[in-house]
Structures are given as C-alpha cells and as structure tokens.
Structure 1
C-alpha cells in the first residue's frame, strides 16, 4: 500500500518537482576531469600545478566540469585555459567515483594546435614527456593513466 501511495505522489508531482525531489534526496557530485594529452610523437603533456602538494605537483591537465558541460569539452577547455593549447578529446579512459562526493573522469586527448603559454596563476611549469621518462613528483594516479594501468591502491 505504501508503494502505491508513493507511486501516486510521484506521478502527481510531474517534471520540475520530480527533479527537485531527486536533487534533494541524492548525492550531488563534483566532476573532476583529466586529459591525457599526447602529441604526434607520443609524448604526454604534464603540468606543474601551483595548488598541488609540493611532493607531487606534476600532473596531467585537470579541472572541474561546469554545470551542463560535456566532460570531453571540459578537457578541451581546461587545457586551453591552463596552456593555450588546442586539443581534441578522444577515448574515455577512466570513470570512477573519487574522494567523497567526487566523480573522476579521464580522456585521452590529441594535440591539434596552439602555442604553449601558461596560466601563471595555476601552472608553474609544463613539458612534454616520454611515458618512459616521467618526473618523480608525478601524481601516482596520473602515472597509471598514462600507462593505462590500474591505479595504485
């Protein structure tokens, strides 16, 4: 009987009220998006991030999706904002729940143009690295993405 009543109330609510109820009763996630940007020679773009811990400041271009943004577009926007490079997002390589209420998304991406100019507020340095010669201070999860291996536990 309770299920029938719940179903009647749900159907009576319709559209906007249903969405509002769902939004209030379910977790809201931030979506962190990362791009594994490779050039024509197979090198990977790494950035030394100002706001990251000093012992692991090197990492892939990353940022948060804005409401309504396609995640592949987030990669392209974040790379442009941080480096002024143009990339094209490709294959989705990771989708997982992250720390607390965070969803983590990663795409392979291809360099298609632009000239490297760093956003000095966020980025301290940048470089193209061979997957076999990555900096020691690289985020472990990003090392795994570059090599397409499982994340370290």
Structure 2
C-alpha cells in the first residue's frame, strides 16, 4: 500500500500535492503580538475593550491575515489600533499546542506616527516602564516584556 501511495504522490507533483497536504493537515489562526518599545525602553500597552475586565491591559496583538508575513502583522495591527509606526525585530516567542491557534511574538521598535487609538477595540494606550507595569496586565504579556516567555 505504501508503494502505491508513494507512486501516486510522485504522479501528482506540484500544486495538486499542496492541495492534498492542505486538506490533510490542521488549519490554524496565528495570533501575533508585539513587544513595542520606544527609545527609552518603555513598552506600549493597550487597554483592550473586549478583553476580560480584570485583565484589560496587554501588548498590541492581532491575527495574521492570509499570506501576511508575521512581522508585517504586528506593524499593521499597531498602526490600526494606535496610529503608530513600528518595525518588528527578533522573534521572541512561538507557541503551538492550542486547538486552532498558534502564538507568535516579536520585539518591535517605535519608528514614527502619532498616537490616535481605535476606540472600537482600544480604550487607552500608554507607555510604561518595564519596572512599573499596570494592574490587570495579562501575565503572559508581563513575561514577554521581561523576556521570560512561557513554553
């Protein structure tokens, strides 16, 4: 049976192989988070409207759209939510194991723009020193800020 499958696999080379693989494998949403810092090392935190009331503060985050490179996802999300321009840097976190989601986080640097929040999603945006983060901050985001990602 394995030989038959191998022979068929070689026959359907190219795009058909990708379609078969796509059908046979799991599909995931990719959540991308940015640890955005300014020139003084302060971190950008957002008070999210739709997050739990006891944990509304967190880093800028959003889902990648189809075919989008993940560093560009964080730049787009920050721009949409705050009006600020950022450049993604090194990958600091990658975690799978969720039913339908993969988490990715990048360091990011403020490069410009003017703060203007999207009030549909965001209630408040503010810069915080890593040593004085607000109450109600997502613990996983606190770990990212301090370079202690969870595995």
Same fold (TM over 0.5): yes
Q: Unaligned stretches of 5+ in structure 1?
A: none
Following superposition, the deviation at residue 129 of structure 1 comes to: 0.3
Query: How far has the Cα of 1:16 moved from its partner?
Result: 1.9
Residue 2 of structure 2 corresponds to 3
**8 Å CA contact retained: 2:32, 2:70:** yes
Task: Map Cα deviations across residues 83-128 of structure 1 (whole Å, 9 max, x no partner).
Answer: 0000010010001115312110000000011110000100000100
Tell me the equivalent position of 2:49: 50
Superposed displacement of residue 14, structure 1: 2.0
For 2:97 and 2:111, the matched residues in 1 are separated by 30
- For 1:98 and 1:74, the matched residues in 2 are separated by 21
Measure how far apart 1:142 and its partner are.
0.3
Alpha-carbon displacement from aligned partner over 1:2-44 (angstroms, at most 9, x marks no partner): 1111111111112222111111110001000000000011000
Partner residue of 2:99?
Answer: 100
Q: 1 CA distance for matches of 2:14 and 2:118?
A: 42
Say if 2:28 and 2:102, in contact at 8 Å, map to a contact too: yes
Match of 1:86 in 2: 85
Q: Which runs of 5+ in 2 are unaligned?
A: none
Structure holding more helix per residue: 1
Corresponding residue for residue 26 of structure 1? 25
1:140: which partner in 2? 139
1:65 aligns with 2:34: no
Question: What is the rounded CA distance, in whole Å, between the counterparts of 1:17 and 1:99 in structure 2?
Answer: 28
TM-score (norm 2): 0.97
Cα-Cα RMSD: 1.1
> Which secondary structure does the structure 2 equivalent of 1:138 belong to?
coil
TM-score, normalization: structure 1? 0.95
Runs of at least 4 residues of structure 1 off by over 3 A?
none
Q: Aligned pair 1:111/2:132, yes or no?
A: no
